[in-house]
């Protein structure tokens, strides 16, 4: 049961008779009358069990965009229902206008819509629906909370997708140039065509020439269906916040751009996200669904406050296949985590694969190193310089093992990783 503001006003109106007949009996009789009116109002109110509530809503929405979820409320009784309804969700679902005025005529159905603008990626779930049905006097109401399950998945915003068209144009240019002129490591046979003046005579296919009675040359293209394995570190180092988002979100952005680019290049992309255990695996050859599956699968993955087990992650990479691949490890260049966890397993991994370590750097370090106007800022600058020096030392240790290291700010890392992939394609190093 719940009372409304009208009950409070009714109690305060009792001050008038008390002023006329100032006695304890007047107060008691007035309060008794109020209690009887409230009890009568509760008895005359419709039961919440007379309502049937069904939810319909979206399955997925991109982070930062808005969506809606609807509740269909059916009145199964012969009396009208008037009151309030609250559709409760997790705070990070960003529910707006979640409290609705409820008016349902007898044996009819109404639709109540709640708008959402999620503030965090992942699965956002509904808690319960609370119904408050007012009595005819609107002094009190019957209230009940009903479980009405519902959820939607807030996908990664993928802000680096704006760079995809320009990188695809570079990829198409690379494929077109290689299909005409290039032959060597990192290329494969594409097709046959007639010889034209200026073609390399070493590209003449003499068997095809004998069959067709005119000169025929072979054309080449960059090797396709190469393996690209992306390992996303979800350990404690990925939980650090850079700006308003955790480091893991920036790492996912870089992984998604590389996945989209390599998928269009017809390479076989496999994504692993894990720390001590693997939390997500994405592998597919369908280019049309690869990016969508990757975004959807990585959406609920969160950082965990544990150390990464790089031996287990390296074993997972080997289990995916023994053929040479481009292995991209997206992790933090934190010296202690790298030296104790990643460095011991890198030599064996780099001996069989092309390894790239990509790390998200914090732009605040550059700001701290430049601000030295006060004593506290000088100490901050010294700490920032030490952090930068340790990252450089760690990167140098990785490069000595033949590993390519990319260390960039959240907005720059996806582009640098995509350009590095195109450079390897161009030079036939995959």
Residue range 274-286, pLDDT digits in tens: 999 999 999 876 7
Tokens of 119: 């503030």
Whole-prediction pTM:
0.80
Share of the chain above pLDDT 70, in %: 94
The string of DSSP letters for 319-379 reads HH-SS-EEEEEE----HHHIIIIITTTHHHHHHHSEEEEEEE--HHHHHHHH--SSHHHHH
The string of DSSP letters for 389-401 reads HHHHHHHHHHHTT
Residue range 363-416, pLDDT digits in tens: 888 888 888 888 888 888 899 888 889 999 999 999 999 999 999 999 999 999
Q: Which of 10-14, 163-167, 220-224 has the highest mean pLDDT?
A: 163-167
Tokens of 414: 């996806």
User: Tokens 């104790």 correspond to what residue?
Assistant: 340
Task: Kindly report the backbone phi and psi dihedral angles of residue 112, in degrees, each rounded to the nearest multiple of 5, phi listed first.
Answer: -115, 130
pLDDT tops 70 at residue 310: yes
Q: Would you say 274 and 246 are in contact if contact means Cβ atoms under 8 Å apart?
A: no
What is d(CA 343, CA 169) in angstroms, rounded to the nearest whole number? 36
pLDDT score, position 425:
86
pLDDT band, very low/low/confident/very high, at 315 (cuts 50, 70, 90): very high
pLDDT score, position 304:
92
Helices (H) and strands (E) in the chain, counts: 13, 21
| Contacting residues for 134 by C-beta, under 8 A, at least 6 apart | 4, 45, 82, 83, 84, 140, 141
What is d(CA 153, CA 79) in angstroms, rounded to the nearest whole number? 38
pLDDT score, position 222:
57
What is d(CA 388, CA 320) in angstroms, rounded to the nearest whole number? 35
Select from 272, 167, 248 the least CA-distant residue to 410: 248
pLDDT band, very low/low/confident/very high, at 49 (cuts 50, 70, 90): confident
Residue range 152-191, pLDDT digits in tens: 999 999 999 999 999 999 988 876 654 444 455 455 556 6
Q: Mean pLDDT for the chain?
A: 87
Q: How far is CA 208 from CA 192, 199, 203, 214, in A?
A: 8, 16, 12, 9
């Amino acid at each position: 049961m719940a009372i409304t503001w009208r009950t409070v006003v009714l109690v305060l109106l009792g001050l008038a008779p008390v002023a006329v007949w100032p006695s304890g009996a007047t107060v008691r009789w007035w309060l008794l009358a109020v209690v009887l009116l409230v009890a009568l109002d509760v008895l005359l109110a419709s039961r919440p069990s007379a309502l049937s509530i069904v939810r319909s809503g979206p399955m997925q929405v991109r982070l930062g965009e808005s969506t809606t979820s609807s509740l269909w409320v059916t009145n199964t009784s012969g009396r009208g229902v008037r009151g309030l309804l609250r559709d409760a969700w997790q705070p990070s679902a960003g529910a707006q206008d979640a409290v609705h005025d409820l008016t349902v005529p007898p044996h009819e159905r109404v639709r109540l819509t709640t708008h959402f603008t999620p503030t965090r990626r992942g699965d956002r779930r509904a808690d319960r629906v609370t119904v408050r049905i007012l009595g005819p006097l609107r002094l009190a109401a019957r209230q009940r909370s009903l479980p009405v399950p519902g959820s939607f998945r807030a996908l990664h915003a993928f802000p680096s997708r704006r760079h995809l068209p320009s990188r695809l144009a570079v990829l198409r240019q690379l494929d077109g140039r290689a299909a005409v002129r290039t032959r060597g490591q990192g290329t494969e046979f594409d097709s046959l065509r007639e010889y034209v003046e200026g073609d390399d005579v070493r590209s003449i296919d003499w068997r095809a020439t004998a069959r067709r009675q005119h000169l025929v040359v072979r054309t080449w293209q960059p090797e396709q269906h190469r393996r690209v394995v992306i390992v996303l570190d979800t350990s404690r180092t990925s939980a650090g916040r850079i700006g308003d988002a955790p480091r893991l979100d920036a790492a996912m952005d870089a992984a998604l751009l590389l996945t989209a680019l390599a998928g269009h290049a017809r390479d076989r992309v496999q994504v692993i996200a894990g720390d001590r255990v693997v939390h997500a695996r994405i592998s597919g050859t369908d280019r049309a669904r690869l990016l969508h599956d990757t975004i959807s699968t990585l959406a609920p993955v969160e950082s965990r406050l544990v150390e990464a087990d790089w031996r287990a992650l390296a074993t997972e990479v080997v289990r995916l296949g023994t053929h040479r691949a481009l292995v991209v490890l997206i992790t933090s260049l934190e010296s202690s985590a790298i030296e104790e966890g990643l460095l011991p397993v890198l030599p064996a991994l780099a001996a069989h694969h092309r390894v790239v370590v990509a790390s998200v750097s914090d732009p605040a370090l550059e700001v701290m190193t430049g601000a030295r106007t006060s004593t506290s800022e000088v100490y901050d600058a010294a700490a920032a310089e030490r952090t930068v020096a340790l990252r450089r030392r760690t990167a140098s240790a990785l490069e000595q093992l033949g590993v390519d290291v990319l260390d960039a700010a959240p907005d720059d890392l996806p582009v640098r990783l995509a350009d590095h992939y195109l450079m390897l394609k161009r030079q036939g190093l995959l």
